[in-house]
Structure 1
Amino acid sequence: MSFSFDSAILEKVALRTKLSEGKEGVRLVLREIYQRGPIGTKSLARIVRIPIPIIAALRKELEAVDLISRNKHGAILTDDGVKFVEQILGFSFLEDLTCTSCSGTGIIFPLEHQRLLVKQTAFANRRPQPLTRLDQAFATPETALRRAYFLLKNDDLEGRSILLLGDDDLTSLAISLLPIRSHVTVVDIDQRLLDLISSIAKEESFDINCVPADLREPLPEQLQNKFDVVLTDPPYTIPGLELFISRALQALKPEENLHIYLAFAHRPPNQLHSIHSSLLAHGLALQQLIPNFNQYEGAEMHANTTFLAQLATTNETTILIPSSFKKDIYTGGISPTRTEYRCENGHIIPVGSREKVKTIEELKLIGCPLCGSKESFTRISRKKVN
């Protein structure tokens, strides 16, 4: 081993990988590999709620110091790794305490679930390609149904007026599949999604009203102070969070103990503190927060999973952004990156908000600038830019 065989190795690995969770994050990764190994990178990232690229970097560092190795099934502790976690870290408990029926979400699907999942999957298969410039990453059909059941469990569906601020996940359709009475409104900036939801709603006789709107402007007057419940999955930035929460509060009736359901990316403690501070500044009470509730087909940077929080209005609730909002809310503007893709002919194309090609969707549309290929692009690197 390149490090001494003591707990200082955790701090050194954390520093080498620039892990925001510090040595405790490294310890948690080792604990999960100890309990579940061999385990794949994606599964490990989801469980510990650390982005996949960071888990990959951690894995390489832990391999370099001979604490873990890999087989065809994933990461596993070496003999020295087992000795380290048992003798130095004190690990011995191997049983997984996560509920096998609900996977820790608190939702056990009813008997009708499989039939509804088939329909929701068919709906989801009709979605257009996600727009990365809008931070779109589609939740799985099962996630959309899980959200619907969660709202139902919390008495926020039956007889309620529900607003979805953005619905690239098609949760409005999942709600409408349930054998209950509710009225659903969807607001989105993406007309493609509104057209799809409206089309399916017409086919299925669902009660869904679709309204195009850019939430950087105040909510349309006809939607203000009208709703019992709001569900939103905003851009995973603090400005995006604060804007969408303000619009949610504009939409809710001016009453206490009404609920906002917020899907948001898992963050290290310092960043999570900023999220909580923002929610408190809005005068909202955090009633529930369920990790790993939402699963995504994209969102690799967020380990393909986010939490779901239930927020309640109080007598101190306030709208922090009542008017137009001119700042960036999307990740590409706030934390710009430069991603390099390789086309099928080996050419390297930089993509990012400061590059000639802004998004992967644009690259696929126009093709490789050097050879015109549109068939296959492989991501080879991704870096933040100043």
Structure 2
Amino acid sequence: MGTMTPLLTGETLHEVVLRQMPAVDAALVEHVSQARTAIPHAAPDYARLWDHLGAQFIGGKNLRPQLTLAAYVGLSGDEPTPAVPVAAAMEMLHTAMLVHDDILDHDEVRRGRANIAGLRRSDLAASTLPEDKVDDQVMAAALLGGDLAISGAYDLIIRSALPAHHRVACLDLVTRAIRATIAGELLDVYGDILPVEQSDPIMVSALKTAWYSCVVPLLAGAKLAGADPTMESHLERLGIALGVSFQLIDDDLGVFGSADVIGKSTLSDLRSGKRTELMRLGFERADAAQKAVLEAHLGDPHLTEKGAAQVRTVLEDTGARKAALRLARRRGKEASRIAAERIPAPLSGYLVRLIDELQGRAS
């Protein structure tokens, strides 16, 4: 344990983590500011793309940096400042994944505002380019912006003041997160050509969401704290359970939630034909008439609110929604049990509280 232990000054772990969020935000802002001028002979568009990327950090939940800092402080008791660059890298990586995921989903809005693709389209609003050329420009900006964010995640760790072995360990975790996410994205995208009943949304959630959102941030903090392999194993199991639960609730909100809460249209997932566990259960449980409704509307790019309401009715009447939320609660309880039984205080209490808060998002 360090001699300057924040938890012995009266602060809870939750308070310590929240106190560091401005430092994480500052690290991200500083990185964007430095990176946009790092290539002095680059065209102004290079700096503008970094500006568009920087705008994506506004309004996020900061779940990933919080998990990193909580694991570090909760397992070591040390002042969290040395872990801030790694926490910022976790948020940078998250942004990269969102930018690239929006490309695959053809979304140009994120958190209620234009994402990189949407900002590039706005830049070209007054141009005389043909529509297909504008679309090419939008796609290129989003793809390259996501690539810049990935480079930023690595750079934040490389340039930190951490010992070399800690930097290498965290870089390895970022690589593992990217590979798991790509595997999940492939399973997700390739699943679009299969019948919905044959999709594997739970595996997609574990690979595409849980690994980079929960497992890797927790493991990064744990490695910096000097945790042993057994503790890392517990955190990995907890992170997968938590991430799957998180995604199941997100998928429910994407259909039954409010656009004001989720930051995008509740028609988006349905229009893109997203293969979620909620939808898989709907197809599995639907009778012929109900299945016809789902087939008519899922993946329709021009889906109206009236059509979406019909889909929601089927998902409710078949019990698919109830079953998906029940699974979300079960995986959340699994994560809480691991935290309570296998993770030492104060991290255990922090994680149980966080899991309860995330479960509470379900309507």
Q: TM-score range by the shorter chain?
A: under 0.3
Provide TM-score, normalisation by structure 1.
0.27
When you count strand as a share of all residues, which structure comes out higher?
1
When you count helix as a share of all residues, which structure comes out higher?
2
Provide TM-score, normalisation by structure 2.
0.28
